[in-house]
Structure 1
Amino acid sequence: MYILVAPDKFRGSLEASEVCQSISDGIHLAYPDAEIVNIPLADGGEGTTRILTERSNGKFVTAIVRDPLGRYIEAEYGISGDGATAFIEMAAASGLNLLKPFEQNPLLTSTIGTGELIVHAIEAGVEEIILGIGGSATTDAGIGMAYALGYEFFDENNEALAPIGGNLSRIKLISSEKVYHRLKPIRFTVACDVTNPLYGESGAAYVYGPQKGASKTMVSQLDQGLQNIAAVAAETFGYDVSEKPGTGAAGGLGAGVLWFLNAELREGVGIVMERCDIENHVKKADLVITGEGKVDEQTLSGKVVKGLADLCQKYQVPLAVVCGTLMITSTETKGAGITYAVSVLNRPMTLTQAEDEAYSLVRDATFQLVRLFFHSGQK
């Protein structure tokens, strides 16, 4: 039997590679002769860089860049084994996790460090950059990133502006005269797992601003700024992207990568699965086992489980899901193309207990599902 094990991480307890090992242990307990292929996955967010770098037999590189408030820090990204592709998570330089709660203020934060990581990667000789844009501390529409690449922003008096969220409403001119000369040939693919437009009630400021420390007044100011930069950018570049799904991601960086990088926005899980050649493994599998910490309605729209479910349906391969918390109904499970879904929790326990025992819980739940699967004749 050929079993593909392809889970996401269990946030707070197990990395995706550890989930793979735990599931594999459970399979071998139930079916010692099984042929197992382990492929850790991610949805384009946290952990994606590590998975793609390791999958390509690549290396990790450290660069000195600026954090969201302009302080110099060390940030890591990956380069593929052949040296052609860089894997960057914007959160490594511009993430909310880099700030203390009292420091969070999207009027003052910037994606400049993300741009510096891009420059560093280009200087290393890459031809393509895959950029994940989750977990940002910013609502600057990517002007900080652009500034690091040589773009300049001016107000109505032709005075240069610092590339922070609070200055979005003051921008009247975008200059590309000093843009980094090696930028244009680089191919950019951006992992984007939200569909929000740039501004408005469903946009970057109103939906995500409060999570980054924005008050109601600040949210309104930021939204006006996003509307302004959209208008100036549309005039500068000749097209309006503000209504395009995903442009509101990462505080408007989704729009910024279209303006300043000529990037392609793609669903993160699709990028990862393509890079890991998942489809060919699914084709050959007798069973696919995946999992993540919580399976809920959000899981069924763009996460690892949904991506695998679609492929398994295409090739009529059964899909089993192990998770910490199972929050979808049997009808939703069936409708998503999931053959079997189970929570690993085998008794009442606290979150701390569940995290501490995650490895054995996943192993034991896998043992039970594999025994059920192979003894039920579903081969």
Structure 2
Amino acid sequence: MRIVIAPDSFKGSASAVQVTKAIADGWLSVRPDDEIVELPMADGGEGTLDAFLLAVPGARRFPVRVTGPDGRVAQASWVLLPPTTELPGGTGVVELAEASGLPLMGRLDPLAANTLGFGQTIAAALDHGVSRLLLGIGGSASTDGGGGVLTALGARMLDAEGLSVLLGGGALMEVVTVDLSKLRALPEGGALVLSDVTNPLLGASGAANVFGEQKGADAAQRALLDAALAHWAEVLRDTGVPADPTAPGAGAAGGTGFGLLAWGAELVSGASTVADAIGLDTALAEADLVITGEGRYDAQTDGGKAPAIVARRAGERGVPVALVAGSLAVEPRGFTASASLTELAGDVAAAIAEPTTWLHRAGAVLAAGSLVA
């Protein structure tokens, strides 16, 4: 039988590549004659580059040294997908988490952390001559409205004296105007921003108030950042930039979605775009079963996260789907079977301590359950 394994990463525990391999090894320990197709998924966050490298023949990784979110040097990379007739320079895939992600912070600094390194990585892909960009923006350490990205791409944020403003969301209130005369152009094939976040830039459901706490912002700092982002949006509007702060996804990655909209990029479903790029539909065409998963399956999963996208596409083709999750916060719907690492391991701590062990067990349990003939 042909088994497609297409999970997302178990964030903070195991990458999508590790999750995929562990489930596959577990399945084969019970059914060694089955054909396994490994297609690790991503939604624009951690593991996006790895998913493309494994799934797309000829994909290449290019390392680049950048300024991390706290000002220290960071080692990042981007991935080049092979050229096509329509995209002769190939597609550059850039992952914010690698250059400006939360784990890169020496200590949390919600007002000064920024996305400069992410912009520098994008600039490196442009320097290479890519024809299109896929920009994954999960895992941000900052709430800077994309100011760091735009600065790296040539924009200048200026104060009342005409001097450059410091980076970070806390300094956005000082921006009086933005000089876009040297802002780099989009590649000819455009730029797609991959995210599963649909929050607007501002307000109670905006970037600062929803995601600021996990980046170290207390209540007063979240209020300050929300006001700073509103000011930033007004400055860009007065500059003539047609970016909409109410657009779904504008609040993604601390407002990086909004900054990339200002550049002219298009916000799209991260999981759907990754699925298209790695050939999920082709793999599903002859599949007998699909196994997907994520670290925590909850009410937000159906909103467009990787397992929901995989399950939806499999369902359209009549292929049964099984779910592996670190934990199940709600009852899974639409799956032939499911396995929870927390239940297999006995508790959350044990599951997190040895994720690949329990992922292997989950694969074996599903195989032993006779999900295929």
Question: What TM-score, normalized by structure 1, do the two folds share?
Answer: 0.88
Q: Secondary structure at the match of 1:129?
A: strand
Residues 69 and 114 in structure 2, CA contact (< 8 A), matched pair in contact too: yes
Residues 185 and 163 of structure 1: is their aligned pair in 2 closer, same or farther, counting only changes over 3 Å? farther
Shift of 1:238: 5.1
**1:73 alignment counterpart:** 74
**2:192 alignment counterpart:** 189
Percent identity, aligned pairs only? Answer: 37
1:131 aligns with 2:132: no
CA distance in 2, matches of 1:346, 1:220: 40
- Between Structure 1 and Structure 2, whose CA radius of gyration is higher? 1
**1:63 alignment counterpart:** 64
**1:372 alignment counterpart:** 369
**1:263 alignment counterpart:** 265
Residues 51 and 236 of structure 1: is their aligned pair in 2 closer, same or farther, counting only changes over 3 Å? same
The alignment's C-alpha RMSD in Å is 2.3
Q: Superposed, which structure 2 residues align to 1:177-256 within 5 Å?
A: 177-180=181-184, 183=186, 185=188, 187-237=190-240, 239-256=242-259
Shift of 1:358: 3.6
Residues 44 and 271 in structure 1, CA contact (< 8 A), matched pair in contact too: no
Q: Secondary structure at the match of 1:20?
A: helix
Shift of 1:350: 4.9
Residues 191 and 267 in structure 1, CA contact (< 8 A), matched pair in contact too: yes
Residues 114 and 148 in structure 2, CA contact (< 8 A), matched pair in contact too: yes
Q: Equivalent of 2:99, from 87, 93, 116?
A: 93
Residues 308 and 156 of structure 1: is their aligned pair in 2 closer, same or farther, counting only changes over 3 Å? same
1:136-183 residue CA offsets vs partner (Å, 9 max, x unmatched): 121111111111111112233433323332221222222211223x54
CA distance in 1, matches of 2:224, 2:295: 36
Shift of 1:255: 0.5
Residues 339 and 111 of structure 1: is their aligned pair in 2 closer, same or farther, counting only changes over 3 Å? same
Q: Which amino acid aligns with 2:157?
A: F
1:190-238 residue CA offsets vs partner (Å, 9 max, x unmatched): 1111111111111111112222222322222211111111122123235
Residues 44 and 192 in structure 1, CA contact (< 8 A), matched pair in contact too: yes
1:101-131 residue CA offsets vs partner (Å, 9 max, x unmatched): 3xx2232222111111111111112111211
**1:301 alignment counterpart:** 303
Q: Superposed, which structure 2 residues align to 1:1-379 within 5 Å?
A: 1-56=1-56, 57-82=58-83, 84-101=90-107, 104-180=108-184, 183=186, 185=188, 187-237=190-240, 239-260=242-263, 262-329=264-331, 333-334=332-333, 337-344=334-341, 349-355=346-352, 357-374=354-371, 379=373
Residues 344 and 358 in structure 2, CA contact (< 8 A), matched pair in contact too: no
Residues 354 and 241 of structure 1: is their aligned pair in 2 closer, same or farther, counting only changes over 3 Å? same
1:27-81 residue CA offsets vs partner (Å, 9 max, x unmatched): 3344343222121112221011121133233222221211123333322222224
CA distance in 1, matches of 2:51, 2:319: 24
1:240-269 residue CA offsets vs partner (Å, 9 max, x unmatched): 501111101111111000002x11111211
Shift of 1:362: 3.0
CA distance in 2, matches of 1:355, 1:210: 23
Q: Which amino acid aligns with 1:173?
A: T
1:269-307 residue CA offsets vs partner (Å, 9 max, x unmatched): 112111111112223212111223332222222222111
Residues 62 and 79 in structure 2, CA contact (< 8 A), matched pair in contact too: yes
Q: Secondary structure at the match of 1:284?
A: coil
Residues 327 and 340 in structure 2, CA contact (< 8 A), matched pair in contact too: yes
Shift of 1:348: 5.7
> Can you give the 5+ residue segments of structure 1 that lack an aligned partner in the other structure?
none
Residues 7 and 291 in structure 1, CA contact (< 8 A), matched pair in contact too: yes
Q: Secondary structure at the match of 1:77?
A: strand
Q: Secondary structure at the match of 2:193?
A: strand
CA distance in 2, matches of 1:106, 1:28: 45
Q: Which amino acid aligns with 1:44?
A: G
Moved more, 283-292 or 240-249: 283-292
Residues 364 and 317 of structure 1: is their aligned pair in 2 closer, same or farther, counting only changes over 3 Å? same
Residues 111 and 2 of structure 1: is their aligned pair in 2 closer, same or farther, counting only changes over 3 Å? same
Shift of 1:364: 3.5
Residues 353 and 229 of structure 1: is their aligned pair in 2 closer, same or farther, counting only changes over 3 Å? closer
Q: Which amino acid aligns with 2:219?
A: K
1:317-341 residue CA offsets vs partner (Å, 9 max, x unmatched): 1111122322322xxx33xx21211
Q: Which amino acid aligns with 1:73?
A: A
Residues 242 and 59 of structure 1: is their aligned pair in 2 closer, same or farther, counting only changes over 3 Å? same
Question: What TM-score, normalized by structure 2, do the two folds share?
Answer: 0.90
Residues 165 and 222 in structure 1, CA contact (< 8 A), matched pair in contact too: yes
Residues 4 and 287 in structure 1, CA contact (< 8 A), matched pair in contact too: yes
